[in-house]
Homo-oligomer: A and B are copies of this chain.
């Protein structure tokens, strides 16, 4: 294998530093700001929310990514800086300017990202103090990356990091790493999340964006926690070329290797995000096979993991497979229900519950055992083609309601 999982996250690649700190935006005692910076300018790629209501930092970052060069990203958790009008945009600029002054970059080379409550203004003084703290503690260690991963968490229960090493055709080892947050307001179309990916690969902006754009639809955009597409979704990929590889400037073998490494990083982070969905007790994966088209397969898989009735059944370890069929049926994809087969599986076993349009009798106790694991999979065989896709979600529990009934308090 030319792609190897390694320890670490956003600081795994050469020349990237990170830090996290407590800036006083969230409750006392909780880190709430992070910074990730490259020693040298980076080529940038990004994907952003498709929500018409875009947070100020999304608008700020889109422009920078379009220009294509950046040095750092400053993140705060607690307040989303969305629906905040002109004031919100000004705060992006002030944050970027402050960070740029410390690391010797230009204001327009600093990305910003926010996550939290929508419709509140940032406490800009605390943000600026936070930027100062962060600039003084940037570290290229695994600990620096972990601190950043922790500081961007909101309702997340675990920090989300991943890194891989990829050997290119010229023998150079490049590294791709990343960290992300995301637990609620998570739904396809640039998932509700912030994700920061770094790599020391030398790669052109065109290829970098192409790689990111090809990976995101099959990874982050295939997870759902609650069907709500956020105003702040952001995935930034920074490449600083410090690995010294022959620059990737076209779609050859190196591009393929790079994209495979990026895919593995993104998929790993996406799955952790789904599994850590607000209130979730398990990862719920749906694989659709033998669909007519790839698009159909994706739509069907997403419909199943987004169905809140199915998610509630999973929470109850209840093999109520009728809800899976119902969710396939209302997805908008046309298929013949009489040909569908459904399998439920997990580490505890595998069960065919519905075959060619007919429900099969099954041992309820065994089914409950299968559905009581922390990673559960459903396979829907549509028998009308050769396309397949996988989507990831989680169960819907009381805890989700508790978290979201009083999110602001």
| Residues of A bordering B, CB below 8 Å | 50-54, 80, 82-85, 117-121, 184-185, 187, 189, 226-231, 306-309, 312-313, 315-316, 318, 320-323, 325-331, 333-335, 337-338, 353-354, 357-359, 396-398, 400-409
Of the residues B338, B353, B400, B401, contact of A85 by C-beta under 8 Å = B338
Contacts of A405 in B (CB 8 A): 312-313, 315-316, 318, 397
Knowing A53-B329, A354-B83 touch, does A228 contact B315 (C-beta < 8 A)? no
Contacts of A358 in B (CB 8 A): 84-85
Of the residues B228, B318, B321, B334, contact of A327 by C-beta under 8 Å = B228
CA distance A326 to B186 in the complex (A): 12
CB nearest to A409 among chain B residues: B318
CB nearest to A308 among chain B residues: B226
A-B contact pairs, 15 of them (CB 8 A): A52-B337, A82-B326, A84-B359, A118-B321, A118-B325, A185-B323, A227-B306, A231-B326, A308-B308, A312-B400, A316-B406, A318-B407, A397-B401, A397-B405, A401-B401
Please tell me if the beta carbons of A408 and B318 are within 8 angstroms of each other in the complex.
yes
CB nearest to A405 among chain B residues: B316
CA distance A282 to B119 in the complex (A): 24
Q: Which of A120, A121, A328, A396 has the most CB of B within 10 A?
A: A396
- Measured CB to CB, the closest approach of chain B to A96, in angstroms, equals 22
